[in-house]
């Protein structure tokens, strides 16, 4: 199943105001997210060009640092902070999502989704 997709950051933010992407693209670029060693994650899920690389972001605010409090939010994939924005998980612990993705060290979007499946299952 293809993840929910929004054509732009603005469209995503309108639909998910509790877990927004920063409006400023420079602030989006400094979020603590997953970038597969700065190569990006290969899109093998959405039907877009499979050579497109994506970043995985944890919203709001990026993945929590070890000394920060956990937050509940969304995990999204985008083309380096620009549209389209794909929602991979909603209302999950961002710390647990970060740890799952980091532990899996995925290089493809399907692998990111697999890493996040356990979060959805554990919340049920």
For the chain, the structural domain boundaries read 4-123
Interval 35-46 mean pLDDT: 89
Distance CA 108, CA 110 (A): 5
Q: What's the confidence (pLDDT) of residue 49?
A: 66
pLDDT the model gives residue 124: 37
Residue 51 pLDDT more than 70?
A: no
Q: How many CA atoms lie within 13 A of 41 on its CB side?
A: 30
69 pLDDT higher than 60: yes
Average pLDDT over residues 50-67: 90
- Rounded to two decimals, the pTM is 0.91
User: What's the confidence (pLDDT) of residue 120?
Assistant: 62
């Amino acid at each position: 199943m293809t993840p929910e997709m929004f054509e732009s950051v603005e469209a995503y933010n309108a639909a998910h105001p509790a877990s927004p992407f920063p409006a400023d693209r420079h602030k989006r670029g400094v979020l603590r997210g997953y970038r597969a060693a700065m190569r990006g994650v290969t899109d093998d899920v959405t039907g877009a060009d499979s050579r497109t690389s994506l970043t995985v972001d944890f919203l709001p605010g990026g993945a929590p640092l070890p000394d920060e409090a956990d937050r509940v939010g969304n995990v999204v994939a985008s083309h380096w902070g620009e549209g389209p924005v794909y929602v991979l998980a909603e209302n999950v612990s961002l710390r647990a999502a970060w740890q799952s993705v980091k532990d899996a060290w995925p290089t493809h979007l399907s692998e990111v989704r697999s890493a996040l499946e356990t979060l959805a299952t554990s919340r049920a």
